[in-house]
Amino acid sequence: MSQLGAFGAITSVRLATESGYRVTYVTCDFASAVIDAKVVFDAEGRVTGLWFGLPQPKTGEYKEPPYSVAGSFTEVSSEIGKEPWVLPGTLTIPAGEGPFPAVVLVHGSGPNDRDESIGPNKPFRDLAHGLASKGIAVLRYEKRTKQYAGVLPGEMDTFTLKEEVVDDAVEAVAYLRQVEKVDPDRVFVLGHSLGASSAPRIAETALQATGEYPAGLIMMAPNARPVTDLILKQYRYLAELDGQVSEEEAAQLDEVGESVSKIREGSIGPGEMVLGAGKAYWDDLLAYDPVAVAKNLSLPMLILQGERDYQVTMEDFALWQAELGGMANVAFKSLPGLNHLFMFGEGKSSPEEYGVPGNIHETVIAAITEWVKAK
């Protein structure tokens, strides 16, 4: 490990069940590379294996996007939520007196930090600085599964999308409405990936909790198909990316297929983890239809989709359009050349792109700004 340089931080933790064993994947950030440690536990919680993946060299550092205008905003620390799940965050406020429209940023799947960091990229920081430069306040915060990674495994038998995403987003909306320079009637929810598909549920929950909907929803790459369908398609896409499927990849596809079947059948046992989550989580997620919930909402919605996204694809975008396309309160925009992080590229999208420094494309900032300021 000495050749990797100084240890920086654990950037993510992922849980799984493989061949009856509980497995924890820990992504570790070193000075010159990122490496995954795989820790295997038996039924009694004893460590039975420890492996390290191949180091992934860092290809560069994060750079502030060109649309971030120095001096046009300030940032202050904030806290949202209630004990025992208080979450630290950052509030980005435009310069001037206000009151300003504002957005809450809601993360995709996984234990994300407030910047939704992946490799050298920080899409939520891009959004915060880009939108604040245009006069829109932004609140971003550490995801519960990031901030309380050491505590949540004990909650997995009852842990659902509500605890992972929805409750904290509702708290964030309520928090923003109390900020002095924010217009309380113009607080929007901006979700990415899982956060995007959760947005209709966040709106419904906010109404139940506070008596008010958010001012509107901005959904960046929301899935319309069940997440189990997406998982299978993603694994197959990656296996076939080089034009051939190896024996190892075929075996992995079979294993993922078995896990997905278990999720669909609802046959996950007590305490068992499948694809990183327990029975309560998967049952809840499969019972939630974001398109159906959104169809019953009258608040403004903007749906954005990168045309090179292999995780949530144009197939999902077409399904959203088919169901909501006739609604006057819903706007759609697909963006050529953009991947799941809404960063530009060419050719087939791949996970390796996420390790190359970049920024959310300026067309995304422009589309969101224009839409929010028209409301």
**What does the pLDDT look like over 84-99, one tens digit per residue?**
899 999 999 999 999 9
Which residues, at least 6 apart from 114, have a Cβ–Cβ distance to it below 8 Å? 88, 89, 90, 124, 140, 141, 142
Q: What is the pLDDT of residues 118-156, one digit of tens each?
A: 888 999 999 999 999 999 999 999 999 888 877 776 777
Average pLDDT, the chain: 91
302 CB contacts (<8 Å, ≥6 apart)? Answer: 216, 217, 218, 219, 330, 331, 332, 333, 367, 368, 371
Which segment of 29-33, 38-42, 90-94 scores lowest on mean pLDDT? 29-33
Phi, psi of 128 (to 5 degrees): -60, -50
Contacts by residues 121-124 (CB-CB < 8 Å, ≥ 24 positions apart): 121/62, 121/341, 121/343, 121/354, 121/357, 121/358, 121/359, 122/62, 123/192, 123/341, 123/342, 123/343, 123/360, 124/192
Say how far residue 305 (Cα) sits from the centre of its chain: 14
Q: Are 194 and 111 in contact (CB under 8 A)?
A: no
* Least confident piece of the model among 43-47, 356-360, 370-374: 43-47
Q: Is the pLDDT of residue 17 over 70?
A: no
- CA 165, CA 186: separation in Å to the nearest integer? 21
Cis geometry, peptide bond prior to residue 101 (ω within 30 degrees of 0): no
pLDDT of residue 111: 87
- Predicted local confidence at residue 54, as pLDDT: 64
CA atoms of 370 and 85, how far apart (whole Å): 34
Which segment of 15-29, 35-49, 286-300, 303-317 scores lowest on mean pLDDT?
15-29
Q: Domains in the chain and their CATH numbers?
A: 2-57 (no CATH), 73-226+288-373 (3.40.50.1820)
Q: What angle do CA 218, 294, 157 make, to 5 degrees?
A: 95
The tokens of 101 are what? 């429209």
pLDDT at residue number 206: 98
Would you say residue 315 has pLDDT above 60? Answer: yes
Query: Which of the four pLDDT bands, split at 50, 70 and 90, describes residue 45?
Result: confident
Is the pLDDT at 16 greater than 70? The verdict is no
Kindly report the length of the chain: 375
Percent of the chain with pLDDT over 90: 69
User: Which whole number is the average pLDDT over 194-207?
Assistant: 98
Q: Is the pLDDT of residue 219 over 90?
A: yes
- Mind telling me the catalytic residues? 193, 309, 340
pLDDT band at 262; cut points 50, 70, 90: very high
Strands (DSSP E) contained in the chain are: 7-18, 21-30, 33-41, 47-52, 56-57, 73-80, 87-94, 100-106, 137-141, 182-192, 216-220, 301-306, 330-335
